[in-house]
Structure 1
Amino acid sequence: MSFSAQYTFSNYRSLGSTHHRATGSDCSPALPASAGARGSGSRIFVSHSTSVQGDWGSRNMGTRMARGLVGVGGIQGEKETMQDLNDRLASYLERVKSLEADNRKLECKIREHLEKKRPQVRDWGHYLKTIEDLRAQIFASSVDNACLTADDFRVKYETELAMRQSVESDIHRLHKVIDDTSVTWLQLEPEIEALKEELLFMKKNHEEEVKGLQNQTANSGLTVELDAPKPQDLSKIMVDIRAQYDKLAQKNREELGKYWSQQTEDSTTVVTSQTAEIGAAEMTLTELRRTVQSLEIDLDSMRNLKASLENSLREVEAHYAMQMKQLNGVLLHLESELAQI
């Protein structure tokens, strides 16, 4: 851009004073102004610096600078001066464009940085629902396990209780049988003694009768003769009768001995078997008592386990509640930061 300056020499002082004011102002450092002789070959280098605010500011500055030029040394000096000013103006414009491009780049980078740094708002609703579902599942599983365990122990307890009652009834029945056997034994003892005494008495009477008959036969001196057939020998008959009676008595003794031996053996066998059954029942009862005690111990342990599980469940719920509280605090903090941004 070139301007034709048609100023008189008298305007040089006004240009000098303008340049003087420009160099003394608060703007950017001014270019040095050199003046030669006030003749036709003199040059003036004047730079008026001002704040650059866009393209229009630069153009106004160039216009003011161009208007302030004073041609002193002729057309050639004015052309060179204007060319120099034009070059400087072009460099200023390029610098302004470069600064504007840098400003746009910096603004883009700042925007990108803010976008990256901006906190992301997360929706914790599905996490809360998942936590509630898990908590409900844990509680339901704990309750179901406790109920199943309690049902199992209740069934075991009822079974063992029924078995115990059955064994106790068997023991009571066996005690009754033993009592009946003892009573029967006490009742048979006097009968056995009476039969023994009766047997001795019968033996004694038999011996006395035999001796009496023998004495009568020996002391008898009568002889009776009849034309009848010869009677049988009385002693032989008595011997036969005695033998038969002895055989019968021996048979009765043997039968009675066998009977009472069998009764005694049967009673002894019954008593022995009942004693063995009582011992077995007592052992079974002892085992059942031990089983009941072990089941009671297991029941107490399961109750303690249930209590510990309930405590653990409460601790887990408290832990999750604390975590939820912390997460809510973090969420509120992030929302506040986001609102501030």
Structure 2
Amino acid sequence: MSFSFSRTTSVYGGAGGQGTRISSSSSPRGFNPADFLDPSADEKTTMQNLNNRLASYLEKVRSLEKANADLDQKIREWYESRPDVTFDHTIFLETIKDLRNEIQLASQDNAALILSADNAKLAADDFKLKYENELAMRRPIEADTSNLRKILDDFSLSRSDLEINIENLNEELIILRRNHEEEMSLARGEAGGQVNVCVDAAPSMDLMQAMTEIRQHYETVTEKNRKELESWYETKTATVQQEVVTQNEDLQNSRTELKELTNTLQRLQIELQTQQSMRSHLDGELEETQARYGDQLARLQVTVTSLEEQLSQFHANIANNKREYETLLDVKTRLEHEIAEYRRLLDGNEREAHSK
């Protein structure tokens, strides 16, 4: 009988959670159960070979059981060294959920900051438009004020000219009165000389009457001119004063309106500067928030990627351990089948020996 059987077994224990691997290969060569039933074979030699082969198989079984025990011990040690590694993925799911909530809150804060910046920009544009409108309204009012000042200056010059004319007319009136008095004195002197020369002359009465009429005429004309001049002066003065009052009121109103517009312009400028400062502040906060949350998101993404890699490696280790365990079970099953076959052959040989 020719019988040969070779089997190689290797045990490799990984470290750091990389798993434990057992590889086994068998290659039967020249094994045939009919050899044990051949009546021409030497029974002692057959039994010796069978015993040797059974002893070898039992040794290999013990070696595999020891390797399996070592593997179980290494698996237990690996789990004991990594107590946080478990099949419960709840902690990873909770962490991912928290990270997603943080990302969502960061996105909401970012959107709120962008909305605030946009509102501040719109408010700044509105104030800028109001400022431009107020500035456009201020320019024609300043032009009107300048024109009113020129008109007021013209009225002041006209008033000065009228006052000078009134003074000149008063001086002319005084001169006329003086001349009239001198003429009247001269006329009285001439009339007196005639009376002294011609006492009983009748025409002297007519001369006195004529002088009286002339005097009355001049006095009437003078009084009329004086009254007309005074009336003209009073009318012109009243007109000028009324115009001056009106212009002063218009000027005062213009000044008040210009002051209000100036105050409004200053207020709008202050509000514009405030809005611009607020916008700059919000832009800075937005950039800072984007940078901060960008860094946080990057770190969180790295953490999530690391956790996913660890989870994938953990699943791979579990699958590898499962495959190795199945390999061991397969080896154990095949060995049990071979041992049962040997026992069956031994029982057959014993029955055949007893029958002989």
Q: Hey, what does 1:208 align to over in structure 2?
A: 182
Q: Hey, what does 2:295 align to over in structure 1?
A: 322
User: Are residue 197 (structure 1) and residue 160 (structure 2) matched?
Assistant: no
Quick one: which amino acid aligns to residue 190 of structure 2?
Answer: Q
Quick one: which amino acid aligns to residue 212 of structure 2?
Answer: V
Q: Hey, what does 1:158 align to over in structure 2?
A: 132
Distance (Å, rounded) in 2 between the aligned partners of 1:269 and 1:197: 27
Distance (Å, rounded) in 1 between the aligned partners of 2:176 and 2:168: 12
Q: What is the Cα deviation at residue 179 of structure 1?
A: 2.2
Give 2:263's match in structure 1, choosing from 275, 282, 290. Answer: 290
Q: What is the Cα deviation at residue 211 of structure 1?
A: 3.1
Q: Hey, what does 1:102 align to over in structure 2?
A: none
Instruction: Work out whether residues 160 and 288 of structure 1, in 8 Å CA contact, stay in contact via their aligned partners in 2.
Output: yes
Q: Hey, what does 2:239 align to over in structure 1?
A: 266
Map Cα deviations across residues 42-93 of structure 1 (whole Å, 9 max, x no partner). xxxxxxxxxxxxxxxxxxxxxxxxxxxxxxxxxxxxxxxxxxxxxxxxxxxx
TM-score, scaled to structure 2: 0.52
Give 1:239's match in structure 2, choosing from 212, 234, 244. Answer: 212
Q: Hey, what does 1:15 align to over in structure 2?
A: none
Instruction: Work out whether residues 117 and 282 of structure 2, in 8 Å CA contact, stay in contact via their aligned partners in 1.
Output: no
Using a 3 Å threshold, how does the CA distance of structure 1 residues 194 and 322 change in structure 2: closer, same or farther?
Answer: same
Distance (Å, rounded) in 2 between the aligned partners of 1:154 and 1:125: 43
Q: Which runs of 5+ in 1 are unaligned?
A: 1-113
In the comparison of the two structures, how many residue pairs are matched? Answer: 225
Using a 3 Å threshold, how does the CA distance of structure 1 residues 177 and 330 change in structure 2: closer, same or farther?
Answer: same
Instruction: Work out whether residues 178 and 271 of structure 1, in 8 Å CA contact, stay in contact via their aligned partners in 2.
Output: yes
Distance (Å, rounded) in 1 between the aligned partners of 2:284 and 2:172: 85
Q: Hey, what does 2:141 align to over in structure 1?
A: 167
Map Cα deviations across residues 10-68 of structure 1 (whole Å, 9 max, x no partner). xxxxxxxxxxxxxxxxxxxxxxxxxxxxxxxxxxxxxxxxxxxxxxxxxxxxxxxxxxx
Query: Which region of structure 1 is more displaced relative to structure 2, 214-223 or 129-138?
Result: 129-138
Quick one: which amino acid aligns to residue 314 of structure 1?
Answer: E
Distance (Å, rounded) in 2 between the aligned partners of 1:336 and 1:136: 30
Q: For residues 15-26 of structure 1, what are the structure 2 equivalents within 5 Å?
A: none
Quick one: which amino acid aligns to residue 208 of structure 1?
Answer: E
User: Are residue 181 (structure 1) and residue 155 (structure 2) matched?
Assistant: yes
Using a 3 Å threshold, how does the CA distance of structure 1 residues 216 and 319 change in structure 2: closer, same or farther?
Answer: same
Distance (Å, rounded) in 2 between the aligned partners of 1:178 and 1:297: 35
Q: What is the Cα deviation at residue 127 of structure 1?
A: 7.8
Using a 3 Å threshold, how does the CA distance of structure 1 residues 204 and 117 change in structure 2: closer, same or farther?
Answer: closer
Instruction: Work out whether residues 135 and 317 of structure 1, in 8 Å CA contact, stay in contact via their aligned partners in 2.
Output: no
Q: What is the Cα deviation at residue 306 of structure 1?
A: 0.3
Q: What is the Cα deviation at residue 307 of structure 1?
A: 0.9
State the percentage of identical aligned residues: 31
Q: What is the Cα deviation at residue 207 of structure 1?
A: 2.2
Distance (Å, rounded) in 2 between the aligned partners of 1:280 and 1:314: 50
Q: What is the Cα deviation at residue 285 of structure 1?
A: 3.4
TM-score, scaled to structure 1: 0.54
Q: Give the structure with the higher percent helix.
A: 2
Distance (Å, rounded) in 1 between the aligned partners of 2:294 and 2:171: 98
Q: For residues 10-89 of structure 1, what are the structure 2 equivalents within 5 Å?
A: none
Q: What is the Cα deviation at residue 309 of structure 1?
A: 0.7
Q: Hey, what does 2:272 align to over in structure 1?
A: 299
Q: Hey, what does 1:249 align to over in structure 2?
A: 222
Using a 3 Å threshold, how does the CA distance of structure 1 residues 260 and 116 change in structure 2: closer, same or farther?
Answer: same
Query: Which region of structure 1 is more displaced relative to structure 2, 305-314 or 180-189?
Result: 180-189
Map Cα deviations across residues 139-198 of structure 1 (whole Å, 9 max, x no partner). 653453233112211122112212322332122112211221233234334432322222
Q: Which runs of 5+ in 2 are unaligned?
A: 1-85, 316-356
Q: What is the Cα deviation at residue 295 of structure 1?
A: 2.1
> Who wins on radius of gyration, i.e. which is larger?
1
Q: What is the Cα deviation at residue 222 of structure 1?
A: 7.8
Q: What is the Cα deviation at residue 305 of structure 1?
A: 0.2
Instruction: Work out whether residues 142 and 309 of structure 1, in 8 Å CA contact, stay in contact via their aligned partners in 2.
Output: yes
Q: Give the structure with the higher percent strand.
A: 2
Q: Hey, what does 2:122 align to over in structure 1?
A: 148
Map Cα deviations across residues 197-241 of structure 1 (whole Å, 9 max, x no partner). 22112212222333333343443328779xxxx999443344344
Distance (Å, rounded) in 2 between the aligned partners of 1:120 and 1:190: 104
Higher relative contact order (CA 8 A, sep 6+): 2
Using a 3 Å threshold, how does the CA distance of structure 1 residues 151 and 299 change in structure 2: closer, same or farther?
Answer: same
Distance (Å, rounded) in 2 between the aligned partners of 1:137 and 1:248: 95
